[in-house]
Structure 1
Amino acid sequence: MGRLAAEIESRLIAALAPSALDVIDDSHEHRGHGGHRGDDGESHFTVKISAAAFVGLNRVARQRAVYAALGELVAPDRIHALRIIAELPAAP
């Protein structure tokens, strides 16, 4: 896991206490596309997250909560593209 992916994970854990979290660096799939920073840069990510903090929130509000947790990381010079799959925890 690269530095930026680790920072994404750390911020989401601190802000949303997820029951499940997967941060996937998709940068290698975007070589030659806008925002790709070459072999040394992380730029494109998928975040799969499940958290009790999402209870009562619709899909858009859940995505906003993820963006809020990431703060200034969500800037074109840091994270160029972010795919978010934000779900409610499985019922016990």
Structure 2
Amino acid sequence: MTEAATGTIAAEITARLTAALSPTRLEVVNESALHSGHMGDDGSGESHFRVEIESAAFAGQSRVARQRTVNHALADLLAMRIHALAISARAPGE
């Protein structure tokens, strides 16, 4: 089961992606409970996330370029606090 993310890291993900990409749709889901006891689970309950984002900034970009854009906005979180991030990135109308 997943839960809508409301924790500190989830709020930071939301704030950073909103500032960087002005999304028309953004959902951040904390999937850490699905990975409890697995490698990368630091016990914080905030280690694994899924992001679904729609932004005009992705128009004309490949899937890889879109993921790099999201990763860039979250770089220090990915380096230090997030173990796994699943990304679904679309342009409006896709």
Alpha-carbon RMSD across the aligned residues, in angstroms, is 1.1
Question: Matched residues in 2 for 1:32 and 1:41: separation?
Answer: 11
> What's the % identity of the aligned pairs?
55
Alignment of 1:13-92 (within 5 A): 13-38=18-43, 40-75=44-79, 77-90=80-93
Moved over 4 A (4+): none
Query: d(CA) in 2 for partners of 1:42 and 1:20?
Result: 22
TM (norm. structure 1) is 0.92
Letter in 2 for 1:60: V
2:33–2:45 contact (8 Å) kept in structure 1: no
Q: Structure 2, unaligned stretches of length 5 or more?
A: 1-5
Cα distance in 1, alignment partners of residues 77 and 37 from structure 2 = 22
Q: Normalised by the size of structure 2, how large is the TM-score?
A: 0.90
Residue 42 of structure 1, CA deviation: 0.3
Q: CA deviation at 1:21?
A: 0.2
Gaps of 5+ in 1: none
Contact 2:48 2:82 (8 Å CA) reproduced = yes
Could you report, residue by residue, the CA deviation over 1:17-60 in whole angstroms, capped at 9, with x for unpaired residues? Answer: 0000000000000011011122x330000000000000110100
